Amino acid sequence: MLAMIHAKPSKQTTRQLIILKDRKSYFQYIRLLKKNGITPIKTIKSLNMVCCHVDRNKVSQVAQNHSKIRRVEADVKARAHGFPKRKGARVSGSSTPWGVRRIGSPSVWPRSTGESIRIGVIDTGIGPNPDLKVAGGINTINPRNSFHDDNGHGTHVAGTAAARGINSGITGVAPRAKLYAVKALDQNGNGFVSDIIEGVEWCIDRRMDVINMSFGIIGNSPALRRSIRRANRHGIVVVASAGNNGSDATRIDEPARYPETIAVAASNRNNKIASFSSRGQEVDVAAPGVDILSLKVGKGTGTRSGTSMAAPHVSGSAALLLRLNPRLSPSQIRNLLASTALHLSGSSRRAQGSGLVQADRAADRVHANLHAAKPRTVKLRSPTLRANVRNRRPAKRKNRI
């Protein structure tokens, strides 16, 4: 029965996600694999999921030969949505990058800097960099290894979201937010969806407030969709980059395509949608993503472009709003950012969604709503309040896929 499952990879095998029907079946299957000398690549108990090397010619037989298997799907690959600095790119002379200024973040800082809000960055890792306060993390590719960044992409993304502006002078959108590094992409910016799913589940367990996903997967993954739906139900705002497939794209990448995420397109200094930014009806908002100045591993700064660079502007904005009102649900955060966005003339709805994020306008709306409601004073981020937020289920939204 297990002849098609292999202990080691080879030219004849492919990585597959085996999802069992229930928890009991999950543990039984793991014991069965162990009895036959097979150690899975990865196991994720919360999803009853086992990742294994499977004979590529017998994938369809795996589920047929075990009644307790719900589904088998490919462990598809993922890739970061960022480009390195292009020749002739403009570099801001200000300590606050142009993108952070363009979305109005500095106007919010007297009221909120995102203090204590947890942002999980699922990427190539973070840092080290003295201007990034990383409160914790995990390497889901190899848990025995560091979550430090060996590519630079994740550090750049983290800097835009929450650089502290002390040593390098670069200040992110939410400079006092707490960063958590989830290294699920390798030194080339590539990875497998199983490592990403493990990262999402880690963020759920550690009670992140926001998850930033500046990458796309190559193909389709019901398992990833299920994990992100779980994050959404736990009150986590999930932000994802739309992709860099350009104006000819017929749809944006997963996971940005999921209705549970905030899908972010990239704009330039001229308030136009970047030529590389993917188009699709699932785009929610746009944010600066061209020639974005942020942090490098070690020290110093660098410029990159891509929808990868746009997404953390939105993640940081969500952190600013959550600091103002921790009771906001993921759907409320999305609606606030969309309803206060700046429409960009000359760009279609498929290109920009509701328009360019304006964190200051959104914060003003939150402040006005709080003042109108005259809520009872509560201690922000208290355990009881966090539990109430986590247990709130957001309103269901029409499936856009």
Catalytic residue list contains 329: no
Query: In whole angstroms, what is the distance from residue 246 CA to residue 228 CA?
Result: 25
Instruction: Tell me how far apart the alpha carbons of residues 98 and 248 are, in angstroms, rounded to a whole number.
Output: 28
Determine whether 367 is an active site residue: no
Number of other CB atoms surrounding residue 25 within 10 Å: 17
- Show the beta-strand stretches assigned E in 133-252: 134-139, 178-183, 190-192, 210-213, 215-217, 237-241
Q: Are 325 and 259 in contact (CB under 8 A)?
A: no
315 dihedral zone (left: phi>0; alpha: psi -120 to 50; beta) = alpha
Cβ atoms of 394 and 330 within 8 Å: the answer is: yes
Active-site residue (options: 105, 194, 278, 308): 308
Buried b (16+ CB within 10 A) or exposed e, 74-84: bbbebbbbbbe
Among 153, 156, 234, 313, the one annotated catalytic:
153
123 included as an active-site residue: yes
Q: Which helix (H) or strand (E) holds 199?
A: helix 193-205
| Alpha carbon distance 63, 224 (integer Å) | 19
| Catalytic-labelled residue, pool 75, 123, 195, 253 | 123
Q: How many angstroms separate the CA atoms of 227 and 118, rounded?
A: 19
Residues annotated as part of the active site: 123, 153, 308
